[in-house]
Structures are given as structure tokens and as C-alpha cells.
Amino acid sequence: MKFVSSFVVVSSVFCGAFAQAEEKKELQATSLFEVVGKIKPTACNVVLPGGNVWDYGTIPASDIKNAKGDFYKRVGVTHNFQIVCDQAASVRYRLMDQSDAANDSTRFSLVLDSSGEGIGFHTMNYMDFKVKGSDGKEVAGAVLGDSVDQVSWKKTGQDWYQRASRFYTAVGAEGSPVNFNVLEQRFTSVIQLDKKLDVKSEESFRGGVLVELYY
């Protein structure tokens, strides 16, 4: 037993001496490993398949004068409105009155081209709201919600007039924003012209609404 034990010790010392005597190796070649990828930011755009102009054509001054009440009211055409994103995101949009940046009402300004004089207002009524995911299927339970600060959200009823300066997005059953790839709805414009308007010659009018996206 002692011999065997002694042999083991000698063998260990011998191997250690051999390792120390081995020649040091020199660098002869290299190869590079790389880890790569791309980070792509979300890109979203407003799409108006029917165009971005609600054209009321020429309105006879007599029609305005003979209308009942204080305003001449006329319903315009309905245009489809979409927000399309290349990846799922919680996108908020806001409608801004170009003639009155401080406006926070359902009434957007209408002014004469020649003088900028206010002659009435128009409203934007939405309907048929829905959002879709990356699979093209409708997001179940999602409805339109609005907020003044993008923090507290409340559900907005269908066929509702949208307010200037408010934020809008899709919210779920709990009232919190949800992600989507496509938002779809329809907007109907309704104009109301002041009957006190005194037109001496042909005048053009317009109302501008700027759509802002936040994401």
C-alpha cells in the first residue's frame, strides 16, 4: 500500500515538470464573431382614401338667409379615416383647429378666405370605429377613448362629435389604451353658417383641421 501511494506522488510530480517544460504557443490566426441586429422605430401615417377635402360646392346666399334658426346647417359627405402603423403601437391622435389653436370644443372654425372673418363653424362626427392587430383581425372590445392629458381616459360614445385639442385612441374594457396596427373610422362633416352673414360678392370659405399623431 505504501508503494502504490508513493508511485502516485512521483507520477504527479513528473507530469507537472513536463507541463512546465512545454513550449509557449504564439498567436497564429484570429476569427471575429459578431452579434448584429436592427432596431426599427414605429412609423405611423394618416390615410384618407377618399381625400382630405370636404367640398360643399357653391351655396346660394338665399339658402342661408331662408334657413330656420340662427344658422344654415348642411351635412357633408363622409370620408374614411385611417391610422396605419408598421408595427403594433398605442397611437393617439388630436384634431387641432387651424384658425383657433386654443379651441377646445366640438365646433371648428369656418372663415372667409378674403378676410379671415369667422362665418360659422363645422363639426366632425365619427362612426364605425374599430382597430385591427398585426393579424388583420379586429381587436375585440376596443372602443374609442378620449383624454385631455393622455393620462386619464374615458370611453367616447358612437356617432359622437369630436372635440378640438382632445387626444383620442383605442381603449379596452378597463378604459386603458391598447396597441393596434390599424385604426379605422369614418368622419362626417357638418357646417353651420351664420345667417347674419352679408355677402355682396362671391366669397370662398374654409375650415382647416390639423391631425396630430402621438406615439
Higher pLDDT, 8 or 105: 105
Q: How confident is residue 25, by pLDDT bands cut at 50, 70 and 90? A: confident
Low-confidence winner among 15-19, 67-71, 157-161, 197-201 (lowest mean pLDDT): 15-19
**Structure confidence at residue 139 (pLDDT):** 96
- CATH code at 44-214: 2.60.40
Residue 173 has pLDDT above 50, yes or no: yes
Which residues sit opposite 81 in a β-bridge? Answer: 185
> Is 193:77 a contact under the CB 8 Å cutoff?
no
User: What's the CA gap between 95 and 209, in Å, rounded?
Assistant: 6
Break the chain into its structural domains and give their ranges: 44-214
pTM comes to 0.79
* E strand segments, the chain: 44-47, 71-89, 92-97, 108-112, 118-132, 143-147, 154-155, 160-161, 167-171, 180-194, 205-206, 209-214
Residue 200 has pLDDT above 50, yes or no: yes
What average pLDDT does this structure show over 107-128? 93
What average pLDDT does this structure show over 167-193? 96
What average pLDDT does this structure show over 203-215? 95
**Model confidence pLDDT, tens digit, residues 62-95:** 999 999 999 999 999 999 999 999 999 999 999 9
